[in-house]
Structures are given as structure tokens and as C-alpha cells.
């Protein structure tokens, strides 16, 4: 059926609007179905965490360093490695026949401020922790040198007698106090010494008839022997 011209002209705006709407709908559909741009994920880091520091010391060496610090109160100025080196040195030299007294200087090189008694303690701890086969009962030695003297000596609770000069060694045992007194029977000079494992802990001298040289030592809280009379 043929539409009148006037009707056809009336339909043109409606048809144009419908076409425009269809075009806009198609554009919107196309935009909504367009794939979102790909984004690259950050690459996984290939750097590994730094390895945690590990000690090169053995368990026994670390135990020795700990025991020495606890006994003698060493601070951070003395490294565990230096203590371990000293301990191994003690084991080597003692196995080769060295005396405890010969190792005192090496101990004082590790920590210059320590006493001879502390040095002996370091050596004993090294033997106990690192080379127990070298550990032996400690000895106390009473020495009187010089002119003739009447001597009394022993640990607390004992009173041995003798005539100087003399040198007597006994097991150190458990007493925490040892002494020796040497009284001159005539003129001259007399000297007393108390030694632990050959290391002189205390010495003293006296001169003139009837005078007494007295040496005493006791064990402090950290287990080291120290003089209570005389000089080291």
C-alpha cells in the first residue's frame, strides 16, 4: 500500500530517530564487550634472603666460652673466637707435656687484667670442656725458702709442721683456705710461697730473728684462688 506523501513525510523523523537509537545501542554493546587491557603482574623477586650468620665454633668451644664468661665475668671485649683459640692451644700444649704454669702467660694475653688465679681457672675450664682426658686433680704446694725457720702449714682445719727450707705438694681438695707460716729460728731472711699447679698465688718474706713470713690464699666466688696476705 502506498502511503500518502504527507504521511510519509511524517514518518521520516520517527524512522531517523529509530535508526539513531539502534546505532547507539550497537556502539554501547561493542564497547561493553571489548576486552579490558592486559596488565602485566609484577615479576617475582629472584633475590633470596641473606643467609643467617652461623658460628664456625663447635658446641664444645661455645660451651667453653660461655663457662669462662660466667666464671670470670669477661665482657664483650673478649670474643668467643679468641677464647676458643686459647682453649685449643691449652689442649695441644698440655697433650705435648706443658705445665699449667707455662700457660698462664697465654691466658693473660687473652685478657690482660686477670690474675694468676683467674688464669689457672681458665686453663682448668679449657681442660674440662675441651680435652677432659688432660684434666687432673689440682695440687697445692707449700714452699719455704731462705734461712732456717719453723714452719706450720695446711688447709683450714689442719696444722702440719716442718722445718724450712721445704717444699711440700698435696692434692688441693675441697678446702677454700690454705696458709703457710715460716718463723725464723735465727737471723737472715725467709720467704713463703703458696702455689696452685705450680703457679705462685701468694708470696711473702720476713727478715730478722723470730720474725714470721705468712702466706694465705682463699677461693673466691668464681672459683679462682687469690692471696689474702702477702703479694701475688
220 and 187 in a single domain? The answer is yes
193 and 125 in a single domain? The answer is no
48 in a domain, yes or no?
Answer: no
- In this predicted structure, what is the pLDDT of residue 173? 87
97 and 156 in a single domain? The answer is no
- In this predicted structure, what is the pLDDT of residue 55? 55
111 in a domain, yes or no?
Answer: yes
Which parts of the chain sit beneath pLDDT 70?
A: 1-55, 230
Sequence-distant (≥ 6) Cβ neighbours of residue 80 within 8 angstroms: 55, 57, 61, 62, 65
pTM over 0.85: no
Number of structural domains found in the chain: 2
Which of 86, 105, 134 is a domain's end point?
Answer: 134
95 and 160 in a single domain? The answer is no
126 and 148 in a single domain? The answer is no
211 in a domain, yes or no?
Answer: yes
Range 158-191 burial, b when 16+ CB lie within 10 A, else e: eeeebebbeeeeeebeeeeebbbbbbbeeeeebb
- In this predicted structure, what is the pLDDT of residue 125? 96
**Cell numbers for 27:** 556502539
- In this predicted structure, what is the pLDDT of residue 5? 45
75 in a domain, yes or no?
Answer: yes
Which of 103, 134, 165 is a domain's end point?
Answer: 134
- In this predicted structure, what is the pLDDT of residue 32? 43
Domain holding 195, by residue range, is 139-227
Amino acid at each position: 500500500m502506498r502511503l500518502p506523501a504527507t504521511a510519509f513525510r511524517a514518518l521520516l523523523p520517527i524512522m531517523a530517530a529509530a535508526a539513531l537509537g539502534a546505532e547507539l545501542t550497537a556502539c554501547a554493546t561493542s564497547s561493553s564487550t571489548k576486552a579490558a587491557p592486559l596488565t602485566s603482574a609484577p615479576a617475582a623477586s629472584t633475590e633470596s634472603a641473606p643467609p643467617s650468620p652461623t658460628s664456625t665454633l663447635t658446641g664444645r668451644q661455645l660451651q667453653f666460652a660461655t663457662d669462662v664468661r660466667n666464671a670470670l665475668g669477661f665482657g664483650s671485649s673478649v670474643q668467643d673466637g679468641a677464647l676458643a683459640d686459647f682453649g685449643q692451644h691449652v689442649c695441644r700444649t698440655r697433650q705435648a707435656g706443658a705445665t699449667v704454669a707455662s700457660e698462664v702467660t697465654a691466658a693473660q694475653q687473652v685478657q690482660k687484667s686477670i690474675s694468676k688465679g683467674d688464669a689457672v681457672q681458665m686453663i682448668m675450664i679449657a681442660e674440662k670442656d675441651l680435652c677432659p682426658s688432660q684434666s687432673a686433680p689440682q695440687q697445692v704446694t707449700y714452699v719455704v725458702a731462705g734461712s732456717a725457720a719453723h714452719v706450720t702449714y695446711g688447709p683450714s682445719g689442719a696444722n702440719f709442721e716442718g722445718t724450712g727450707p721445704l717444699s711440700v705438694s698435696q692434692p688441693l681438695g675441697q678446702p677454700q683456705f690454705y696458709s703457710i707460716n715460716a718463723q725464723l729460728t735465727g737471723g737472715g731472711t725467709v720467704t713463703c710461697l703458696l702455689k696452685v699447679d705450680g703457679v705462685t698465688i701468694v708470696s711473702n718474706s720476713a727478715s730478722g730473728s723470730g720474725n714470721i713470713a705468712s702466706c694465705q690464699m682463699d677461693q673466691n666466688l668464681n672459683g679462682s684462688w687469690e692471696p689474702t696476705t702477702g703479694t701475688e
